Amino acid sequence: MRVLLVAATELELAPLVARLTPAAHALSSERLRAFTHGSHQVDVLTTGVGMVATAAWCGRVLARQPYDFAVNLGVCGSFDPAFPLGTVVNVVADCIAELGAEDGEQFLTVQQLGLLEPDEPPFRGGMLVNAEAKSNPVIARLPAATGITVNTVHGNEQSIARVVERFQPAVETMEGAAFMYACLVSGVRFAQVRAVSNTVEKRNRAAWKLAEAVAALNDVALRLIEQA
């Protein structure tokens, strides 16, 4: 099986990469590295932070090479107290929270503006949905979560309250929806797996558990490859 692992930064997958075997063949991009693990070919794509970089690199790589499975791995912030720090979740639905227009105090999504139909591919009800989210046994055991993808992470009580009211998200990232969009239009089986590193609140790095989240994420990622 050929698996593509996608992360925004090298930090998020460093423990896993250290356990993979570098492949004999080289790949065509400085951001894409080839490994093996058991009988699996594992390509690791480090996109850089944000939706633009993720969409561009995922689109480029998925157009050049067929994959049996693609997984976006990274940390996230949690709006939901049911997902405490260190929890690893399977993001089964996501959207680009800032894609729309302001109308005074009101926010209108692109669907509400009539620029996209709610079910215009690859959207379902205005969301990017993973219909095969539980196809891997490791992923099937993870709690399911709905996410939002943003350019500006939330750290203001008023903006947090507004985005929760609009979308009812459990987690937020800066790349997830871009990855899901690329996989959906490419027809690649995929999953977005995230570990909670922080609560979405006024920015407080002292309260984050980044190391613990990365460790939990990489443990799941290794088991996911082995049972792919």
Kindly report the CATH number assigned to the domain that includes residue 82.
Answer: 3.40.50.1580
Number of domains within the chain: 1
pLDDT for residue 26: 65
DSSP string, the chain: -EEEEEESSSGGGHHHHTTSEEPSSPPS-TTEEEEEETTEEEEEEE--SSHHHHHHHHHHHHHHS--SEEEEEEEEEES-TTS-TT-EEEEEEE-BTT-EEEETTEEEETTTTTSS-TTSTTEETTEEE-TTTT-SHHHHTSPEEEEEE-SS----HHHHHHHHHHH--SEEESSHHHHHHHHHHHT--EEEEEEEEEESSS--GGG--HHHHHHHHHHHHHHHHHT-
The residue ranges of the chain whose pLDDT is under 70 are 26-28, 133-134
Question: What is the average pLDDT score of the chain?
Answer: 93
pLDDT for residue 28: 59
Span 184-225, pLDDT tens digits = 999 999 999 999 999 999 988 888 999 999 999 999 999 999
pLDDT for residue 131: 85
Domain containing 169 equals 2-226
pLDDT for residue 205: 87
Span 107-117, pLDDT tens digits = 999 999 999 99
